Amino acid sequence: MKEHIHPESLMMSHGYKPELSEGAIKSPIFQTSTFVFKNAEEGKAFFEIQNGKRKKHEGESLGLIYSRMNNPNLEILESRLTLWDGAEDAAVFESGMAAITTVLLEFLKPGDLFAYSIPLYGGTEHFIDSYIQKIGVHTVEFKPSHTKEQIIDIINKSGYADKLSLMFIETPSNPTNTLIDISMCKEIADHFSTKEKQVYLACDNTYMGPLWQHPLKHGADFSLYSATKYIGGHSDLIAGACLGNKALIARVRSLRSQLGCMAGPWTSWLMMRSLETLKIRMEEQARNAKKVAEFLVSHPKVEKIYYLGAIKEGTHEYEIYKKQYSSAGAMISFDVKGGEKEAFRLLNELKLIKLAVSLGSTESLAEHPATMTHAGVSDEHKKEMSISEKLIRLSVGLENAEDIIWDLTQALEKV
Ligand SMILES: *Cc1c(COP(=O)(O)O)cnc(C)c1O
């Protein structure tokens, strides 16, 4: 085979051996809870490896034991998913929240300090406030606008800087598309790392991955996903993923096996099917989004748009954009002139675009962050982060761009 084959060329076959499944061109769904051992010695050997009692011998692999630990659909999917991010390994979960919470639980313990950027996905912030703090982990927040020196200062002022163990960021942040420099965060993590203790950096890559941003290449230790979004891509499943190096993913996978939050065979199979069209879907969505953004920018009833393609050249944000992203993506937020009344009118008048939360799917979706996805954010933070009553978030889908623009035009007319 050619030395470098593009990920999109491998999504139909990578990690799957037809000869193990009667020659079937596609992987069957391995709808099974357990696997038969050839003999007792084999069962013993598999368990020794699974439980970390000994290292694998040369050429030996961990055989299939029980579907909470491993399953062919899970394994094939994981090997395909690593290709986009150039990751050593991946662990797939039954939801994005399962992936995020498993990483936080594995890499934080009582007394540790956890530093994270705001705004984060509502579910992640809720888990930090309601659980992580309850188990005695100290937390500090920083903002996309903060410089490296300011973040280091915030961590030092917490009084627990020597206990910093994990940093967590979301870039672009939802819903206003503000950017955080991943390699700068890596420098901060390194600044607080010692010989005994490495500070890890996790990045929620749901908004722009796995195609347009590769956090691991900028120094992050984990690239996390709600695979419900672009990876699944059809609004018909809930799933998550965590990518990183072999040693770290082994820890994540071990806790996942104990918690039992791995993706099931059917979810994994659906995602394998989705991955075959990931690139063409995401690229077409981004092309549509560009046209929609151009339309919105010049519309008299639109006050401001938050879109990566609208970042002004010459700014610090533009530098991060050029360094970290290969596309402006397909998420656009915008302020309608007016307030909640005008925003609601627009949402209620949409005919083709669906009024629903979630994103990254084949159909276009619109929602009102202030009262929906970000309803739980404090008024103070909402104000700081421009999550106002006039803000609408749009996930651009695969419809013909002319039709999406027609829908927005007719709805804006009624406002
Ligand atoms: C949806 C989402 C999540 C949570 O994922 P689920 O699959 O719903 O559990 C986490 N982060 C971001 C950025 C999301 O959009």
pLDDT tier at 52 (50, 70, 90 boundaries)?
confident
Pocket test for ligand 1, best of 94, 121, 124 (most atoms within 8 A of CB): 121
**Contacts with 313 (C-beta within 8 Å, 6 or more apart), sequence order:** none
- Return the ligand 1 atom nearest residue 206 CA: 13
DSSP letters, 185-248, are HHHHHHHT--SS-PPEEEEE-TTTTTTT--GGGGT-SEEEEETTTTTT-SSS---EEEEE-HHH
**Model pLDDT, residue 60:** 80
**Model pLDDT, residue 83:** 97
pLDDT tier at 346 (50, 70, 90 boundaries)?
very high
Pocket test for ligand 1, best of 101, 102, 226, 230 (most atoms within 8 A of CB): 226
**Does the C-beta of 205 come closer than 6 Å to ligand 1?**
no
Q: How far is the CA of 121 from the centre of ligand 1 (A)?
A: 7
**Model pLDDT, residue 304:** 97
Q: How far is the CA of 306 from the centre of ligand 1 (A)?
A: 20
Q: How far is the CA of 341 from the centre of ligand 1 (A)?
A: 28
The residue whose C-alpha atom lies closest to atom 11 belonging to ligand 1 is: 121
360-380 pLDDT tens trace: 999 999 999 999 999 988 898
Q: What values do phi and psi take at 288, rounded to 5?
A: -60, -45
**Does the C-beta of 174 come closer than 6 Å to ligand 1?**
yes
Q: How far is the CA of 186 from the centre of ligand 1 (A)?
A: 23
- Return the ligand 1 atom nearest residue 227 CA: 7
Domain boundaries, the chain: 7-32+67-275, 279-413
Residue whose token pair is 């956890």: 114
**Model pLDDT, residue 153:** 98
Tokens at residue 278, please?
């990931």
- Return the ligand 1 atom nearest residue 207 CA: 13
- Return the ligand 1 atom nearest residue 360 CA: 15
243-289 pLDDT tens trace: 999 999 999 999 999 999 999 999 999 999 999 999 999 999 999 99
201-213 pLDDT tens trace: 999 999 999 999 9
**Does the C-beta of 232 come closer than 6 Å to ligand 1?**
no
Percent of the chain with pLDDT strictly greater than 70: 100
122-141 pLDDT tens trace: 899 999 999 999 999 999 99
Peptide bond into 172 cis (omega under 30): yes
Percent of the chain with pLDDT strictly greater than 90: 92
**Does the C-beta of 231 come closer than 6 Å to ligand 1?**
no
What is the fold, at CATH topology level, of the domain defined by 279-413? Aspartate Aminotransferase, domain 1 (3.90.1150)
**Does the C-beta of 94 come closer than 6 Å to ligand 1?**
no
Considering the domain 7-32+67-275, what is its CATH architecture?
3-Layer(aba) Sandwich (3.40)
**Does the C-beta of 73 come closer than 6 Å to ligand 1?**
no
Cα dist. 178→119, 213, 276, 306, 318 in Å?
Answer: 10, 14, 30, 8, 11
> Is residue 1's pLDDT more than 80?
no
- pTM comes to 0.96
For all residues of the chain together, what is the average pLDDT? 96
**Does the C-beta of 229 come closer than 6 Å to ligand 1?**
yes
Residue whose token pair is 């709805």: 411
